[in-house]
């Protein structure tokens, strides 16, 4: 699999920093660097083109696609195996029908609203109940349906959640923690709590980083859950991950609603142009300090909002 797209200068600097210790000594012509990330070869060219090649290219590129989308509105991502990607994902029956602990997160791509990470404990006996609720198709469920279904789930399913406010997120960023390191630490915390309480067949994490990278993020953690099975698109392959995703979304929506009421204005999700427009209104009404408290400061939106304010003045 080969995935490629153009990246902007801010993303280039982040790529250089991230792959600093994974670089190859020799690089192809016109390349800024070439690195080995697990089973993926990553090459950044002087033209600004980044190329991910290997069986895990989709996984290795995912974070950088999301990062660049904050800079480039209509990002053109070329995938040599787009046709194959339409094929149905393999679901391992041993995992799907097991008693498992699964974790997932939401809020990492939203300028407003916290990051919520949850882990859910699903016994094999709970699977029919969850399927009947429609949890198996959780990615297709609307926010309205999430608000309806999750209260039924949490009455039956044990879970642990952590809410990381944007003030806390910004402090972690200042320490030099990137998004994936923050996520790894939070996943480890919720998994640790459930692991100490229950017996299980599998612990499943919806994979957002290579296994060795994930564990490298946890070097400073006092206790690390290591018996993890990492799966891409785990939400559709394991109901404990699907539950964790839905519970995280439910909590996120509740926190988002509280913030909207506090500000007395509608807050858009994501990190698009509507977010920038509302950001300007927040600064005008409450001041820049308030915006800094309720948003992820390292997102490109911060700079865009400041530029819009300059244009107005």
| pTM of model > 0.85 | no
User: 93-258 in CATH: which number?
Assistant: 3.30.420.10
**Phi, psi angles (nearest 5°) of residue 96:** -60, -40
Q: Extract the tokens encoding 248.
A: 């995280």
Q: Which residues pair with 5 in a beta bridge?
A: 50
Specify the pairing of strand 115-122 against strand 158-164. antiparallel
Neighbour order of strands in the sheet with 229-231: 158-164, 115-122, 100-106, 202-206, 229-231
pLDDT averaged over 10-residue windows placed end to end, the chain, 313 residues:
92 88 80 84 93 84 88 86 57 95 94 96 96 78 91 97 97 92 97 97 92 93 95 91 95 96 93 92 96 94 92 81
Dist. CA 36–CA 15, nearest whole Å: 13
- Closest by CA to 106, choosing from 293, 255, 229, is 255
Q: Are 245 and 122 in contact (CB under 8 A)?
A: no
pLDDT in tens, 219-270: 999 999 999 999 988 998 999 999 999 999 999 999 999 999 999 999 999 8
Sign of CA dihedral 173, 178, 182, 188: negative
Query: Which residues share a beta bridge with 43?
Result: 34, 51
* Residues forming a β-bridge with 44: 33, 50
Supply the pLDDT for residue 88.
61
Question: What local confidence, expressed as pLDDT, does residue 137 receive?
Answer: 58
Domain 2-86 belongs to what architecture? 2-Layer Sandwich (3.30)
Domain boundaries, the chain: 2-86, 93-258, 262-312
């Amino acid at each position: 699999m080969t995935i490629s797209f153009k990246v902007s200068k801010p993303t280039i600097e982040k790529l250089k920093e991230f792959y600093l210790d994974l670089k190859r000594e020799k690089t192809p012509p016109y390349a800024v660097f070439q690195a080995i990330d697990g089973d993926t070869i990553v090459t950044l060219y002087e033209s600004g083109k980044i190329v991910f090649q290997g069986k895990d290219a989709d996984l290795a590129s995912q974070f950088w696609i999301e990062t660049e989308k904050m800079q480039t509105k209509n990002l053109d991502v070329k995938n040599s195996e787009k046709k194959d990607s339409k094929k149905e994902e393999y679901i391992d029956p041993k995992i799907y029908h097991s008693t498992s602990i699964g974790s997932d997160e939401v809020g990492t791509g939203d300028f407003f609203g916290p990051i919520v990470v949850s882990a859910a404990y699903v016994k094999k006996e709970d699977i029919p109940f969850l399927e009947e609720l429609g949890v198996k198709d959780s990615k297709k469920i609307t926010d309205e349906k999430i608000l309806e279904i999750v209260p039924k789930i949490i009455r039956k399913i044990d879970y642990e959640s952590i809410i990381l406010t944007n003030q806390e997120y910004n402090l972690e960023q200042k320490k030099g923690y990137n998004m994936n390191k923050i996520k790894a630490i939070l996943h480890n915390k919720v998994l640790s709590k459930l692991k100490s309480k229950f017996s299980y067949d599998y612990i499943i994490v919806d994979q957002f980083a290579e296994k060795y990278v994930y564990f490298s993020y946890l070097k400073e953690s006092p206790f690390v859950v290591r018996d993890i099975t990492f799966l891409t698109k785990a939400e559709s392959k394991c109901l404990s991950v699907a539950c964790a995703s839905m519970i995280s979304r439910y909590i996120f929506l509740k926190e988002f609603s509280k913030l909207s009421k506090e500000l007395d204005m509608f807050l858009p999700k994501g990190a698009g142009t509507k977010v920038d427009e509302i950001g300007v209104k927040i600064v005008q009404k409450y001041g820049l300090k308030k915006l800094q408290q309720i948003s992820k400061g390292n997102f490109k939106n911060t700079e865009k909002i400041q530029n819009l304010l300059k244009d107005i003045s």
